[in-house]
Every structure is written in C-alpha cells, then in structure tokens.
Amino acid sequence: MQRKIDLLSRLLLDLEADIGTSDTAILVLKSLKDSLMNVRVKTNNDLHAQFQEMVHIVCETTPKFGILNFYFLEILHFLENSARKEKDIKKCLFRKIEDILKEIKEKKADLLKYTETLNVTGKTILIHDHSHTVHEVLQHLKSLGKNFHIIVAEQEHEKTQQNIEVLHKAGIPFRVIPAYMLSHVHTSIDMVFFGALTLKDTMDFVMDPGTHGVISEFHTTKTPIYSFLKTSKFSLWRSGDRSDVLSLCHTRTHCSKPIEYERMKYSHDRVPADLFSFIVTDEGIFTPKELKALFQKKMNAAR
C-alpha cells in the first residue's frame, strides 16, 4: 500500500508542477471515469472495496491534495449512501463524476465572476507563481477590455517562462524583474496576485516555493495582496506535521574548487492567510478573518 501511495504522490506532484492543481484534479477524475467503464467487478461490494482502497491512497499522498480529497470523499459518500442501491453501479458513479466535472467548471466561472469587481484598470500587478488560476483571472479581465500591466517576479526558469507565454498570448503587457530586486519597484506595484495549492485548518496557504518572501515583502509596504482559490481546495481536516512540504537534500560540488556541500530544496511554502488583504473564491471575496469563519463552517459541515 505504501508503495502505491508514494508512487501516486510523485506523479501528482509532477502533474501539479506542470499543469496546476485544478487541471490535475480534472485529469485524475477523467481518468477515474475512463477506468470505471473498463473495470470488471463481480458485485457492487467488490467495487466498493476497490474504491475505498483508492480513496485511502489518494487521501494519504504527500503532499495532500485538498481538491482531490474533497471530491474523492464526496464520491465515496455517494457510493455508500446512494449508488450501492443501484443495479448499474458503474453507470451511477460515471454520472456522479460527470456532475463533479461540471461543478468544477461552475466554480471556476463563479470565481472569475467575482474578479470582475476588482479595480485593475491602469494598475500594475505583480505575479510570481505560475498559478493557472491567476492566469485565468488575468485572461478573463483582459477579455473584458480592462487594461493593466504585469510585473513578473522572475524565479525558476520554467515557471517564469510559463508566465511569459500566457501573458504574451493574451496580449497583456508585462516586464520581468528578478524576485530579489523587487525593492526597486515597490512604489510602482499597485496589487499582488497569487494562487495556492490549498488552505490548511491552521489558516496557512500551501503555495509555490519563494512566495512567502515576496508576499512578506509587499505586506510590509501595505500593497494590496490577493489570493485566488476555489473553496474545493480547502483542506477540511486537522493538520498534522508539515507533510504538505517536501524537502530534498543533494550533495553538490563547487564549480571550480574541491568543495562539497549539501543543497536543500523545498516543494512548497506555507504562508499565513493574515498576510493577504483579500481572498477571492467561488463564493465571494473575503478578508482573512471572514475566510477563517467560512473555512470553519465548511469544516464543521464535513465532519
């Protein structure tokens, strides 16, 4: 079992880095739908047992993916309370997954609708991570005819290139500045936009590495900082250790001297929600205090 969990953990981490959290969830759900059409089971109880094992594997990955946990547990609840009574259980589950995929699209549309109230016209907006949600927000605002300028805080080459490609394709004017030189443009930045992998019960966002420093920097300048997150990404369980942040240690050699050293690298940052001005979700725009109340309400309902 642990081998399966470790294998899925690595796969999801690679997918999340490449296509983003929401698209990873959609890909997994579509794969589940395809698998249901081909799996052979003798009884409904056999399918239930297999799906229970799958949910356990999905919910135990490191890091945990809140959106996958949310939807897989929803499907399991549906299976245990409704679908098992049906004659064609596979078709029933197939329709449930179709409903969830439709819901994901609706949540995205709802979040984008709330972004329309943001005053971005003539503003300079800083982005740092390669959040697909932030990309969609910027593309949506541009499609509405709103004109704004982007500063890309340069970080890992591949992620920065993804930001550049999206902005260029959307026709959004931008400039790239190394993340360690942002102090030179503090006064020209009007807003800061970030996405997130999930929101923990500790009211910490799990985000791309390097985001904590950038967010803290603009928090001190009192620049409005926005996070964009669908409520399906909430991690509605009690946090344990820091299993949502992986660390890798490599032994490296100096480029020209006989010196060996250890280099540490981390998969994500944890960023307190209090550092943000507003959090834009599919259910509205919230202050950190309001977000905490919303999270608690959803967590109580999930018990």
- Out of 62, 91, 112, a domain closes at 112
Give pLDDT tens digits along the chain (303 positions): 888 888 888 888 888 878 888 889 999 999 998 888 777 777 777 888 888 899 899 988 877 788 888 899 888 888 888 655 666 778 888 889 999 999 999 999 999 999 999 999 999 999 999 899 999 999 999 999 999 999 999 998 888 999 999 999 999 999 999 999 999 999 999 999 999 989 999 999 999 889 999 999 999 999 999 999 999 999 888 876 555 666 778 888 998 999 999 988 777 899 999 999 999 999 999 999 999 999 999 999 877
Number of domains in the chain: 2
299 Cβ partners below 8 Å, 6+ apart?
A: 201, 234, 236, 237
> Which two structure tokens, joined as six digits, stand for 103?
């819901």
Separation between Cα atoms, residue 152 and residue 143, nearest integer Å: 20
CB 233 within 8 A of CB 286: no
Instruction: Examine the domain organization and report whether 180 and 257 are in the same domain.
Output: yes
What confidence score (pLDDT) does residue 156 get? 87
Round the CA-based radius of gyration of the chain to a whole number and report it.
Answer: 21
Instruction: Examine the domain organization and report whether 56 and 85 are in the same domain.
Output: yes
Instruction: Examine the domain organization and report whether 220 and 79 are in the same domain.
Output: no
Instruction: Examine the domain organization and report whether 77 and 142 are in the same domain.
Output: no
What confidence score (pLDDT) does residue 107 get? 95
Instruction: Examine the domain organization and report whether 164 and 248 are in the same domain.
Output: yes
- Out of 77, 96, 112, a domain closes at 112
Instruction: Examine the domain organization and report whether 22 and 132 are in the same domain.
Output: no
Instruction: Examine the domain organization and report whether 104 and 159 are in the same domain.
Output: no
Mean of the per-residue pLDDT values of the chain:
90
CB 269 within 8 A of CB 209: yes
Global pTM reads 0.87
For the stretch 51-87, pLDDT in tens is 889 989 998 887 778 888 889 988 888 888 865 566 6
Residue among 66, 65, 69 nearest 77 (CA): 69
> Which two structure tokens, joined as six digits, stand for 35?
């698998």
CB 117 within 8 A of CB 110: no
Token pair 């259910």 is found at 283
Q: Which amino acid is at 56?
A: H
Instruction: Examine the domain organization and report whether 296 and 161 are in the same domain.
Output: yes
Instruction: Examine the domain organization and report whether 195 and 289 are in the same domain.
Output: yes
Instruction: Examine the domain organization and report whether 97 and 152 are in the same domain.
Output: no
- Out of 112, 133, 163, a domain closes at 112
Instruction: Examine the domain organization and report whether 141 and 88 are in the same domain.
Output: no
Output phi, psi for 7, to 5 deg. Answer: -65, -45
What confidence score (pLDDT) does residue 160 get? 93
CB 206 within 8 A of CB 194: no
122 Cβ partners below 8 Å, 6+ apart?
A: 147, 148
What confidence score (pLDDT) does residue 240 get? 62
Instruction: Report the C-alpha dihedral over residues 171, 177, 178, 180, rounded to 10 degrees.
Output: -130
Instruction: Examine the domain organization and report whether 108 and 152 are in the same domain.
Output: no
Separation between Cα atoms, residue 94 and residue 34, nearest integer Å: 9
Q: What is the per-residue burial (b if ≥16 Cβ within 10 Å, else e) of 26-40?
A: bebbeebbeebeeee
Kindly write down the DSSP assignment for every residue of 141-174, as one continuous string. Answer: HHHTT---EEEEEE-SHHHHHHHHHHHHHHT--E
- CATH number for position 239: 3.40.50.10470
Q: Determine the structural domain holding residue 191 and report its residue range.
A: 120-302
Separation between Cα atoms, residue 128 and residue 1, nearest integer Å: 37
